[in-house]
Amino acid sequence: MARKAAKSATKSRGASAKASSKAGAKTSTRSKSRLNDDIGEEKRLKMFQLQLEVRHLEKRAHDLFLQNLVKGTSHLAVGQEAIAAGCATAMRPNDYTFCTYRGHAHTMVRGAPMTAVLGELMGRECGLLKGKGGSMHLTSVEHGAMGSYAIIGAHLPIAAGAAWAAQYKKTGQVSFCFFGDGTTNIGAFHEALNMAAVWKLPVIFVCENNLYMEYTPIGDVTAVPNPAADRAAAYGLESILVDGNDADAVYRVAYAAAEKARSGGGPSLIEARTYRHFGHSRADPATYRPKKEVEEWLARDPIPMYRARLLEFGVKENVVSGIEESVLKAVDDATEAAKESPPPSMELLDTDVWADGGASWRN
C-alpha cells in the first residue's frame, strides 16, 4: 500500500511539473509574441534607452544648475520623456523636429550628442551652438532638430513652412512640431493648423498637455476639456488623444500620422496627456499643484512603467539593467567632457552675430 501511495504521489508530482512547465512555456510564448508585435523588441529597447538618456541627462542638468554651472534658467521635461522617445522612433532620419524652450528631450532623441547638449547648457565651446544659445535654443540641423523656440507658438508656422518645402520638393520628409497646452490659445496655433489643413501639408502637430500653461491650469482658461484634440474638427482633422506617458501608444499614433503625411493625406494634430515632475522652470517650486494630483502622476512615471513592460514581455533583466548602466556611464562621461571644455573664445563669440560672420566690418 505504501509503495502504491508513493508511486501515485510521484505520478502526481510529475503531472504537476509537466503542467507547470507547459504553463511556463505558454507564458513565455505569449510574452515573445507580445514583444515581437507591430513595434518589436529592437524599437522598444531603443525607446527605453532614449527615455533613460533624457531623464538622466536632465537630472544631471538640474544638479549642475545647483552648482552654478548651467547658465541662465532651464525648463526640464522630466516625466514627459515617452512623448519624445515615441515620436523620434517613428521618424525617419531626414524628418524635421521643431520644439519649444523645453527642448532638451526632443533635441537629444534625434541624435544630438550628450556632451554637446550639456556643453550648450553650461556655455562651453563644445556646445551645440558653441555655448551661445543656452538651454532655451538648442538646435542641431544635422540631426533634424531645427530649433527650440522661446516665443510661444512662433514655431508652428515655421514647421508648416518646412513641411510645405518638403511637399514642393517631393522629399517625403515630415515636420514634427511639439508645443505645450498653452499654445493652443495662441493665434499662430490656429493659423498654422488651418494653412496645413488647406494645403494638406506633411506636418504633425503634437501638443504635450502637461495640464499647466506655466502656472495656470489649462482647464481654467480653455473652453473645451482637451485643448488640442477637441479643436481638431474645426480644421477637418481627426481628434487624437493619447497617453503621453506610454511610449508604445505614442509611437503608434505618431507612426500612423507620419505614414498618412508621407502618402499625401495631410497633417495630424495629436494631444498627448502627460505631467512634468518639476515646476515650469528652475525658478518655479510648483506649489500651486494639488498634492494628490502630483502623487497620482508620479505613480505613473513613464520609465518604471516601461521597464516593467519590457520584463513582462520577456526581455531579460540583465539586458534592461545593462542599458541602465551604459546610460549612466554615458551621462557621467559627457558631464566631465563638457566641464573640461572652455568657454567660447572672443573669435567664436563674434561669429554668427553679423551677416559676414564677424563684427570687424562695423569698424
**Sequential DSSP letters for 55-78:** HHHHHHHHHHHHTT-S-S-----T
pLDDT of 297 strictly over 60: yes
**pLDDT tens digits for 172-227?**
999 999 999 999 999 999 999 999 999 999 999 999 999 999 999 999 999 999 99
- Tell if the pTM clears 0.95, that is, is over it: no
pLDDT of residue 22: 59
What is the distance between the alpha carbons of residues 245 and 78, in angstroms, rounded to a whole number? 11
pLDDT of 33 strictly over 90: no
Residues 6+ apart with CB under 8 A from 259: none
Q: Crossing angle of helices 302-312/247-262, nearest 10°?
A: 90
Q: How confident is the model at residue 358 (pLDDT cuts 50, 70, 90)?
A: low
Across the range 276-280, mean pLDDT stands at: 94
**pLDDT tens digits for 330-351?**
999 999 999 999 999 988 888 8
- Structural domains in the chain plus CATH codes: 40-342 (3.40.50.970)
pLDDT of 169 strictly over 70: yes
Q: Which amino acid is at 82?
A: A
pLDDT of residue 141: 97
Pairing of strands 203-209, 175-180: parallel
Return the closest-CA partner of residue 80 out of 179, 218, 194, 224.
179
Q: How confident is the model at residue 3 (pLDDT cuts 50, 70, 90)?
A: low
**pLDDT tens digits for 118-128?**
999 999 999 99
Which residue is it, cell 533634424?
Answer: 144
Across the range 108-115, mean pLDDT stands at: 98
Across the range 157-186, mean pLDDT stands at: 98
pLDDT of residue 350: 81
Please return the burial class of 161, using the count of CB atoms within 10 Å of its CB with bins 0-12, 13-18 and 19+: middle
Q: How confident is the model at residue 143 (pLDDT cuts 50, 70, 90)?
A: very high
